[in-house]
Amino acid sequence: MLLNSLQEYVLIDSETRSVDCYRRNDCGKWELTAYPPDEEPTNSSDPEVHFTSIDFRCPLSLIYEDIDFPEPALDLPE
């Protein structure tokens, strides 16, 4: 069953500061927009996430406001 009315869906990572937005293009294919973009360094300015289906924009930091991620575990040689 297809949901023809579904034009966009968003996956918000619960372990890292990352959001994936999938949008259906004019050909009916899904296109991915990742926040932060892979080519963008993580220490750069706060990327703005655009939810096109509801014409809403917000900084990535606002989505993760008041979230404390655990420090990554260090893999020490044995």
The pTM (predicted TM-score) of the whole model is 0.74
pLDDT at site 73: 74
pLDDT at site 31: 97
Per residue in 4-56, pLDDT (tens digit) is 889 999 999 988 889 999 999 999 999 999 998 655 555 557 899 999 999 99
* Beta strand segments in the chain, E: 8-12, 19-24, 30-35, 48-51, 56-59
pLDDT tier for residue 2 given thresholds of 50, 70 and 90: confident
Q: Which two tokens stand for residue 73?
A: 């575990």
pLDDT at site 61: 92
